[in-house]
Structure 1
Amino acid sequence: MRIMVTGIPSYLMRTVESVSGATVRHRPYFEAVRTKNDLIAQVKKIANTGNYLIGEGAAHSVRGHDVTYVPFWHLANSVNSPETYEKLNQSFDLCLFASANLLRPGYAATTESFVFERLNMPIVVMGIGIQKKENLKDALPEGTRRFLNVLKKKESFFLTRGHFTADFLKAEGMNYVRPTGCPSLYYEPAAMKRSLSHLADPDLADAQKIAFGGYLGSVPDTIVDAHALLRQDSIASYVIQDEITVYNLNILAEETDDAYDQAAGRIVAKTEYKHAEKWQRNCEFRVFFDTHKWRSWVSGQDFCFGRRFHGSIIGMQSGVPALMIAVDDRMREMLDFVGFPYIEASVWNREAKKKAFLQDFLSKIDVPAAIHRYSACEENFNAALKDIGIR
C-alpha cells in the first residue's frame, strides 16, 4: 500500500529540501543548530519537541508499506492547485494524519478541512485528542466543525488518544472511532515494558541522575521537585520542549552567538526566566531535535520524573523507569487509557514530605498489572491497524 504520512512530523522533516506534486526531496544532512537564532528556529518548526515522538510513532506504525512523508505545509499551500491534488490522489492509496490536541477551543482546523476535502483516499487520523474537556462542545471552533463534517462524509478512521475523545467523536457522528492511545506508546514496546518492570522501586526516589520535565518559565513546580529529590551537590537535568517559544525562557545571547552544543544537546548560553532565582541546585538545560540523540542521552539517566507526557515516554522508550505528574486533561486521558501509574499534580504539590511520599507510591505499584494493561493496549492498536488494512 502507498501511504502518505502527514500532520505532526518526525524529526526527519528537518531534512526536507523541497516538495513538488507528490515528490519530496530530502537533504542528506540536518541543518546545523549552533546559534540562538538556530535554536529558536528549530523549536518553532515543530512547536514542541515532544511532537517528534507522535510523528515518529505514527510513521513507524505503517513500516513495511511504501511510505512517503509529505509535509502538511505543502498540502496547505496547494489547496488551490488541482494539479497537485490530482498527482497526490494518483500517487497514494491512503493518508495517515498524525495528530495531537486538535480538538480544543483555541484552534480552528479550517485548513485541515480544505486539505481533506481535496484528498480522494481513505483518511486515518491517528493520535487525535482533546486538550480540555470543559465546555468543548459549545466552544469548538467552526473550522473544526467543518473538519469533522468533511471527514464524516469520507472513508475516515479516528484512532484517538483515549476514551473521552472517542466518545466525543462518536457523538459527533464519526463512523469508525477507536481509542488506541498516542502512537508514541508503541514505538519500542519491549523497552516500554522493561521501563515498567523497574518502576516499583522506592530507591528511585534517591536517584540523582533524573531527567526532569515541566513548565519552567511559567511555574516553579519543577524547581520544587528537584529540591525535594536531589542532593545539593547534584545537577538538575531539565529537558526543554517548547519553553523558549511559549513560556518565556529566554536565551541571553546575541542572535548569532553560540548558544547550543549539538553533540551534547545542551544549551550553553545563559538563560533567564520567571522563578529562576528560586534554584538551590545547579541545573542544565537539554533540548533535542533528533529522537535518537534524545533516547541516547536519557538512557544514561536513572529515572524520568516530571510533568511532560512525551518527556517521560521517550525515557520509557529507552527502558528507563518513568513516573508522570498529571497536570491536565490531555495527560489524564492518555495515562488513564494506557494504565501507567501517575501522581495527580494537586496531590503531589501539596505533599510536604515529597520524597517519602514518592517512595511509598513507588513501592505500591503493581508492575504485572501495568505491563498486562500496556500489552492489551498494544494488541488493541495493532488490531485497529489491521481493521483499517495497514497492518
Structure 2
Amino acid sequence: MTKIGILSIKPSIEARSQPSFDRLYQMVGKNTGNLLFTNAVWNQIAGPKERTNFSFCPSKLNEEYSALVIPAANWLSPSVDFGDLAKLVEALKIPVVLIGLGAQDADYSGSIDVPQGTVRFIKAVSERSVSISVRGAYTRDILSSLGIDNVTVTGCPSLYQDFRTFSPPPQKLNIRFDRGLIHSTRYSASHAPFARTESAHRKLFRLAYAEKLDLLIQSEPEEMAMLTGFSDGGDFDDRLRMLMGEVYNTPDWEDLKAFILRQGRVYFDVSKWASSLDMYDYVLGTRLHGTIMALNSGVPAVLVHHDSRTRELCEFAAIPSVSDDSLQTNRRYIERLFARADWSRYYEMRERNLTTYMNFLSINGLSAA
C-alpha cells in the first residue's frame, strides 16, 4: 500500500529538548491547540502515513505518496497569504485532501478579504479533491463566494477524537467554583491595546488571577516561556512586565510571576493534557480546542464564542457556549451557566456529524482507522 503524506506539525513535542523557546513556539504553530486537530487526523486515517513539511518537494510527493492530507485551521483570513503553498500544490498530481478549513472573521460579516495567494491555494486543492472539509456553514458560504462549491461541512476533526476513555458529564451539574480551569486568547502581551481595552479575553485572565484559578496557556508566549523553563521573567523589560500586569489587573510583578508558575498549565502532548483534566469540575474560556479537549475527555466545558471561527463551530457542533459580550465573570453567573448548560446536544450532534465526517474521508479515498 502506498503511503499517505500528512502536511502537519509533529503530533507531540518534547518541549525541553528544543534548543530555544522560539523554536518550540514555531513547532506548535504558535498555539498548542493545533496539536488536537493534528493528532485527530493522524489517528483517524488508516494505513501507512508520513509527515511532510510546508516546504515539500512536489516531484518527491508525486513519486512517493498516494495522496496528501492537510489538517487545516482558520486559514481563510485577511492576515495570512498561502501563496507559497499554492505554488507547491499546483505542481502536485496526486489527490490533496484539506480537512477542517475555517474562516477568521471578527464580526460574522459574510465577507472576508481573502488574499489571492490563499484563494489560489484553496482552488488548487479543490481541483485535486472530491470535496474540501470545512468547519461550518459560514466557511462554506465564504468558499462559495469564491467559486468553490465542492465542500462538505464536517466541523473540526478534533470533534471526533476521544482523547481518553470517558463518560459524558451528568445533565444536572453543580460545580465547585474553585475547581475550574480557565482559558483565554492572547499572543504577545507587548500589544498594548489588548491590555488596555476591555474584552472577554482580558476578563478571563483577570478572573483566573483574582480567584487563583488554574489557567490553560495555548499561545501566550511570555507565560509559555516561563512554564517551560526558557525564561524566568528576568529577560522581560519594564514595559512588558507593566503590560502583563495590566492584562491580569495587578501592579505586583512578583505575585503575578508566582501565579503563572503555580497555576499556569501548558501541554505539548494531548494524552497528558487529557489526563490532567481529572483535577477540574469545569473548563471555561475562549479557546475552541481547550473546550473540545475538555468535552471529549468527559469534563463540562463552555466556550465563549468571540468570532466567526468559534461561533460557527458552536452552531454546527452544539458546543455549550455563551457570547463574548454577554460573559460575566462572577461566581454566581458561572455556577448558573454550568447548571443550565445542555451537554446532551453536543454528544448527540457529535455522533450524527461523525457519519458525515466518515463519509467525507471515504469519498476522498481515505480509509478510516
What TM-score, normalized to structure 1?
A: 0.76
Within the candidate set 66, 73, 76, 1:103 is matched to 76
Are positions 1:260 and 2:228 aligned together? Answer: yes
Alpha-carbon distance in 2 for matches of 1:58, 1:116: 19
SS of match in other structure, 1:102: coil
Equivalence for 2:99: 126
SS of match in other structure, 1:155: coil
Alpha-carbon distance in 2 for matches of 1:33, 1:150: 37
Range that drifts further, 216-225 or 91-100: 216-225
User: Do the aligned partners of residues 239 and 227 (structure 1) sit closer, same or farther apart at CA in structure 2, a change above 3 Å counting?
Assistant: closer
Alpha-carbon distance in 2 for matches of 1:338, 1:128: 15
AA in 2 matched with 1:45 = M
Displacement, 1:287? 1.7
Equivalence for 2:198: none
Contact 2:155 2:316 in 1 (8 A): yes
Are positions 1:275 and 2:254 aligned together? Answer: no
Are positions 1:222 and 2:198 aligned together? Answer: no
Contact 1:159 1:179 in 2 (8 A): yes
Displacement, 1:5? 3.9
Contact 2:5 2:52 in 1 (8 A): yes
SS of match in other structure, 1:304: strand
Are positions 1:335 and 2:314 aligned together? Answer: yes
Stretches of 4+ aligned residues off by more than 6 angstroms: none
AA in 2 matched with 1:90 = E
AA in 2 matched with 1:238 = L
SS of match in other structure, 2:276: helix
Within the candidate set 157, 171, 174, 2:131 is matched to 157
Are positions 1:241 and 2:211 aligned together? Answer: no
Alpha-carbon distance in 1 for matches of 2:5, 2:171: 34
Within the candidate set 51, 56, 59, 2:42 is matched to 59
Displacement, 1:274? 4.2
Range that drifts further, 86-95 or 336-345: 86-95
Within the candidate set 373, 377, 380, 2:353 is matched to 377
Alpha-carbon distance in 1 for matches of 2:279, 2:122: 43
User: Do the aligned partners of residues 152 and 215 (structure 1) sit closer, same or farther apart at CA in structure 2, a change above 3 Å counting?
Assistant: closer
Are positions 1:326 and 2:305 aligned together? Answer: yes
Displacement, 1:223? 3.4
Alpha-carbon distance in 1 for matches of 2:215, 2:159: 22
Alpha-carbon distance in 2 for matches of 1:54, 1:116: 21
SS of match in other structure, 2:214: strand
User: Do the aligned partners of residues 120 and 299 (structure 1) sit closer, same or farther apart at CA in structure 2, a change above 3 Å counting?
Assistant: farther
SS of match in other structure, 1:299: helix
Equivalence for 1:41: 23
AA in 1 matched with 2:40 = G
Equivalence for 2:296: 317
SS of match in other structure, 1:275: helix
Equivalence for 1:210: 180
Give CA deviations for 1:223-255 in whole Å, capped at 9, x if unaligned.
343378x4xxxx4211211111xxx65967xxx
Equivalence for 1:23: none
User: Do the aligned partners of residues 138 and 337 (structure 1) sit closer, same or farther apart at CA in structure 2, a change above 3 Å counting?
Assistant: closer
- Where structure 1 has 5 or more consecutive residues not aligned to the other structure, the ranges are 15-29, 79-84, 253-258
Number of residue pairs matched by the alignment: 338
Displacement, 1:102? 0.9
Which has the larger share of strand?
Answer: 1
Contact 1:6 1:69 in 2 (8 A): yes
Alpha-carbon distance in 1 for matches of 2:318, 2:7: 27
Equivalence for 2:151: 177
Contact 1:5 1:98 in 2 (8 A): no
Give CA deviations for 1:64-112 in whole Å, capped at 9, x if unaligned.
2111111223x1xx3xxxxxx3332122111111110111111111012
Equivalence for 1:198: 170
- Identical pairs, percent: 21
Displacement, 1:174? 2.6
Range that drifts further, 329-338 or 132-141: 132-141
Q: CA RMSD in A?
A: 3.0
Contact 1:2 1:91 in 2 (8 A): yes
What TM-score, normalized to structure 2?
A: 0.80
Alpha-carbon distance in 2 for matches of 1:363, 1:6: 41
Equivalence for 1:298: 277
Give CA deviations for 1:238-278 in whole Å, capped at 9, x if unaligned.
1211111xxx65967xxxxxx6369xxxx866774142562
User: Do the aligned partners of residues 60 and 299 (structure 1) sit closer, same or farther apart at CA in structure 2, a change above 3 Å counting?
Assistant: same
Alpha-carbon distance in 2 for matches of 1:261, 1:298: 22
Equivalence for 1:9: 9
Displacement, 1:180? 0.5
Give CA deviations for 1:41-70 in whole Å, capped at 9, x if unaligned.
3122222111111211111120x2111111
Equivalence for 2:338: 362
Equivalence for 1:22: none
Contact 1:107 1:141 in 2 (8 A): yes
Equivalence for 1:285: 264
Displacement, 1:163? 0.9
User: Do the aligned partners of residues 112 and 137 (structure 1) sit closer, same or farther apart at CA in structure 2, a change above 3 Å counting?
Assistant: farther
Alpha-carbon distance in 2 for matches of 1:369, 1:295: 22
User: Do the aligned partners of residues 363 and 136 (structure 1) sit closer, same or farther apart at CA in structure 2, a change above 3 Å counting?
Assistant: closer
